[in-house]
Chain A
Amino acid sequence: MKDLFAVIMLSGIYGLLSASFFVAMDAVDVAFTEASVGAGISTLLMLVAITITGRTERPQRHKPVLALVVVFVTGSLLIYGTLDMPYFGSAQAPVHQHVAPRYINDSMQEVGAPNIVTSVLASYRAFDTFGEVVVIFTAGMGVLALLSVVRHPREIARDNEKIDSLNKSMHEEHLILRIVVKILIPFILLYALYVQFHGDFGPGGGFQAGVIFAAAIILYSMLFGMSTARRVINQSVIQLFAAIGVLLYGSIGVISLLSGKNFLDYNVLSPDPVAGQHLGILLIELGVGFTVASVMVIIFFNFAGRKNDQQNKENNDS
């Protein structure tokens, strides 16, 4: 398929479909993540990316036979590998013998969060989740290093003019969209906070909440213009928040190390171990939420800002 727009839409539809089959298999947390990340924000970010690169694929002169062979060999090796795996849903599978019963039977006494997925993600496997957060942070830093442009005072002055003209044309263009979005944004932000702090009890958590929060900000900047959004969301503050999220997560681990327990062992945070677990999960989910939301906003602003700069340059040249 040559039209990249159609490819992106197909990948979004694929994300939504896989979210549906995760729901059908009772993996609500995974489905929630897939729907918000896979179908929602990654589609959006890829759309922003093709505004920079152009909509069609470059025509290929050679036939990629070698690539096809590599894909075929790798695919058949992977299928050969699955032959050794236990039969799907089998009760004798190692997963169901070893850790899963422990999580299901003991997590209520040890961690005390009704949502077992959250207690696995944020307490038993907290170190893995820390790794994921660092990956997201690194992605944000990579985008900043490659795409960020220093803005001259002259451009900021031009931005202010743009904001004034936008405020004047407020009720002339995109009237319906802007009003509906203005009504919806507070609810989206409120919902993000609900998902953030309700993660112990129901599906949700820092990753999903961060993505939803970022989606609200991205929606705002798409409809009211980048310059208005830059005034609302200060770029250096949002970069600081991305770092604060990772630091918050890591410092919880360091605190438990200094108190003589393992890295990210929350029992030391409070005299009562279960209360300590609760506090620990709350804090690290907050760290995850901070980092995810700010990194998504950073990626969007830098991609979309690049596009604006290109347009400005073309206007100046012509």
Chain B
Amino acid sequence: MNISSALFLLIGSFLCISGGVGILRFPDFYTRMHAVGVTDTLATAMILIGLMLQNPDGLVIVKLVIILLMTLFISPTASHALASAAVHNNLMPKLEETEDNKKVSSSNP
């Protein structure tokens, strides 16, 4: 039980850190948001599951399940709101400079 819990916690922490690296290293807003939005939900879920395994009976597990459900609802919605706000304010994703993309970016600035 302890080993599996530790495994889940480690995976969760690794995902958190990789999300943090992503937000620093990725080139533009959308990819950064992608890095954090995707890893964050899974990392939180992993850490919560790891904590559930620490104490498999009792009220704690119910509370953790509620937190997990809330996170699964809220975190993707927050990412969606952020991304749609960026689109709404005409923030264009950074595209690789090829012939096709130049046409696209010149046609809708």
Contact = CB atoms under 8 A, between A and B. Distances in A.
A184 interface: yes
B77 to A, nearest CB: 5
Contacts of A187: 70
Contacts of B70: 184, 187
Nearest to A223: B81
B74 interface: yes
Interface string A186-216: 0100000000000000000000000000000
Contacts of A176: 77, 80
A77 B81 CA distance: 46
A177 B73 contact: no
Interface in A149-202: 174, 176-177, 180, 183-184, 187
A177 B77 CA distance: 7
B80 A177 contact: yes
A187 B73 CA distance: 12
Nearest to A184: B73
Contacts of B73: 180, 183-184
Contacts of A184: 70, 73-74
Contacts of B80: 176-177
Interface string B67-91: 0001001100100110010000000
The dominant DSSP class at the A interface is: helix
A177 B74 contact: no
Contacts of A180: 73-74, 77
Nearest to B77: A180
B35 to A, nearest CB: 19
Contacts of B77: 176-177, 180
Contacts of A177: 77, 80-81
A184 B72 CA distance: 12
Nearest to B66: A187
Nearest to A180: B77
B69 to A, nearest CB: 10
Contacts of B81: 177
A176 B70 CA distance: 15
A94 to B, nearest CB: 38
A177 B84 CA distance: 10
Interface string B9-38: 000000000000000000000000000000
A177 B70 CA distance: 14
A177 B80 CA distance: 8
B94 to A, nearest CB: 21
A174 B85 CA distance: 10
Nearest to A181: B77
A115 B74 CA distance: 31
Contacts of A174: 84
A174 B84 CA distance: 9
Contacts of A183: 73
B67 to A, nearest CB: 12
A3 to B, nearest CB: 15
Nearest to A179: B77
Interface string A1-21: 000000000000000000000
Interface in B23-74: 70, 73-74
A125 to B, nearest CB: 30
A180 B81 CA distance: 11
A174 B74 CA distance: 15
Contacts of B84: 174
14 contacts: A174-B84, A176-B77, A176-B80, A177-B77, A177-B80, A177-B81, A180-B73, A180-B74, A180-B77, A183-B73, A184-B70, A184-B73, A184-B74, A187-B70
User: Closest 8 A-B residue pairs measured CB to CB?
Assistant: A180-B77, A176-B80, A177-B81, A180-B73, A176-B77, A177-B77, A184-B73, A183-B73
Interface of B: 70, 73-74, 77, 80-81, 84
Given A174-B84, A177-B77, A184-B70, 5 more contacts: A176-B77, A176-B80, A180-B74, A180-B77, A183-B73
